[in-house]
Structure 1
Amino acid sequence: MAGFDPKMKDEENRDKRENEKTEDQSNCDYIEGCINHRLFTFINVGFEGSAHDITVWNHCLTVPEFRFPHPPPGKYYLVDSGYPNTVGYLSPIKEKDIRTHLPEFRNGPPPQGMLELFNYLHSSLRTTIERCFGQLKGRWKILTMMPQMDTKHQLAIMVATFTLHNFIRLHELDIPIDSGIEIEPRADYDLFNENRKAVMKEVQLNIAKEIWNVL
């Protein structure tokens, strides 16, 4: 899962920008998730670019109308270090002097110990989302330089590009297109509940141990 803020021009702010003689563009933040087929599973657009990922994510989780695809029991999303490690959401191991991001490993020595090995593999898997973004922006150039128009039209264009991306990927993979998806029944998704975080911490460490023992 990740958040992203493409540059967007807004007609309502054009005069203000011209008076200030600046080329700054307003930002629009969105949150999305994808799976290993490079298919996007969820997108929510329209937040200010300055909104924190956690704020956007929590909004998606707590508004029933969004029908956020919560992972079923025993499954989880890979999330980056900015998100809590809680039931259904597996983040890197965040401890002092433990590297968490792929560039840190690329620019330094190999993973040192069980925890860094887990984080290295975790970061490597999360590059799937980067490939999704790269393919999306490479195919739809409009996302990198949105023309001046009403914001609602800009947001509709963004949603359309994600939809078309999935449509093309489904045909490439010869996956039948379903008219709907099954959504897990909504439960109490308190992301910061200490009991839920403790459960996922145990899962996190068990996975790290299994990897360490195998390798």
Structure 2
Amino acid sequence: MLGVCTPDMQFVYVLPGWEGSVADGRVLRDAISRRHGLKVPHGCYYLVDAGYTNCEGFLAPFRGQRYHLNEWRQGYQPSSPQEFANASAPPIANMACHGS
């Protein structure tokens, strides 16, 4: 299942029907290729987790850098610009990607 929601946790898209183990990217490609599938408003991005790649309309954290919320809660300080960017986005991305 793929669920997409706004920052205030309102679902704007749900794609049920995927069972078992399947790559996140495959489900996303299916969602955006459907006739009435997932549409990203022009100039906007959906925050996704590291299981996805950066592409038009989707913004993933920097790979190979820390981005999990529990690491920041333990007092870890970013050691690179990429980690700083990842540390800035997790509260929002966690809402959007929980359970992926």
Q: When the two structures are superposed, what TM-score results if normalisation uses the length of structure 2? A: 0.83
**In the aligned structure 2, how far is the partner of 1:130 from the partner of 1:77?**
10
Q: What root-mean-square deviation, in Å, do the aligned CA atoms of Structure 1 and Structure 2 show?
A: 2.1
Q: Which amino acid aligns with 1:121?
A: S
1:52 corresponds to which of 8, 23, 40: 23
**In the aligned structure 2, how far is the partner of 1:78 from the partner of 1:85?**
9
Asked if 1:74 corresponds to 2:43, the answer is yes
The residue matched to 1:110 in structure 2 has which SS? coil
Q: Which residue of 1 aligns with 2:73?
A: 106
Q: Which residue of 2 aligns with 1:116?
A: 83
- Structure 1: any 5+ residue segments left out of the alignment? 1-29, 134-215
Q: Which amino acid aligns with 1:74?
A: G
User: Larger radius of gyration, structure 1 or 2?
Assistant: 1
The residue matched to 2:4 in structure 1 has which SS? strand
Q: Which amino acid aligns with 1:52?
A: A
Q: Which amino acid aligns with 2:46?
A: Y
Higher mean C-alpha deviation, range 34-43 or range 103-112: 103-112
The residue matched to 2:29 in structure 1 has which SS? helix
Q: Is the 8 A contact 2:31 2:37 kept in 1?
A: yes
Runs in 1 of length 4+ with deviation above 4 angstroms?
none
Q: When the two structures are superposed, what TM-score results if normalisation uses the length of structure 1? A: 0.42
The residue matched to 1:46 in structure 2 has which SS? coil
**Structure with greater helix percent:** 1
Q: Which amino acid aligns with 1:103?
A: N
Q: Following TM superposition, by how much is the alpha carbon of 1:112 offset from its aligned partner in structure 2, in angstroms?
A: 2.1
